Amino acid sequence: MELQSTRNFDKYLRINSSEIEVNINQAKDVQNLKAIYVVDFSAEYQITNKLQDIQDFFFEIRPPYGYSLLQNFPLEQNNQRLIPTNPGNYSFPFNLSPEKTINFKVNYQAQGRPRWIYNANNQLLSNFRLTALANFLKADFASSIVPTETIESIKSN
C-alpha cells in the first residue's frame, strides 16, 4: 500500500525595498489629558518571487501597536485594492510568478499611545528608507532602528 500526502509549510519572500513616510503629531487625550500620537503613514514595498514553482502568497502587515483609532487601511497592488482573507485581518492573498516583482502600497491614519513605534519584525532590511516628520521638538526614537540623520527645525508662521 502506497500512501501519499501533502503538507503545507511556510516560505517567506524577502522585501527588496521599503520606502516609508510617517508624519507624527502629538495631541492630548481628552479623557486623561495625556499625550497621544496622531500618525499619517504611507509605505511602498517591493517584493520579488525567488522561489521555483510557488506562486500563491500572503502579504501580512501589522497595524500600529497600541492604536485607539485606525482609519483608511488599504493595501494596494498596482493601484488595485486587495481584500484581506478575513475582515479585521491584515493578511492579503496575492499571486506572483517566479522571478516576477510586485509593488505594494499601504496607507493609514492612526492615533493611540504616547509614541509610535516602527517594528521591522526581525526582517532583514535592504534598501530601507524611513522618513519620520514630527511636528514637535525632541521626538523620541523608541525602536531599535537608530536614525542615520535627525534634523530639528522650528517652523515660523
Whether 94 and 85 have beta carbons less than 8 Å apart is answered as: no
What's the number of domains the chain is made of? 1
pLDDT digit string, tens, across residues 30-48 = 777 788 888 999 999 999 9
Quote the radius of gyration of the chain (alpha carbons, Å). Answer: 19
Domain that holds residue 39: 15-134
E strand or H helix at 108 = strand 101-112
- Bridge partners (DSSP) listed for residue 133: 23
Residue 115: its pLDDT value, please? 74
Its pTM stands at 0.80
pLDDT tens string 7-18: 666 667 888 999
Residue 146 domain-assigned?
A: no
121 is a domain residue = yes
pLDDT in tens, 86-122: 877 888 889 999 999 999 999 999 988 777 777 777 7
Query: 42 or 124: which carries more pLDDT confidence?
Result: 42
Is residue 148 included in any domain, yes or no?
no
Chain position carrying cell 503613514: 41
pLDDT, position 155: 62
Residue 149 lies in a domain: no
Within-domain flag for 99: yes
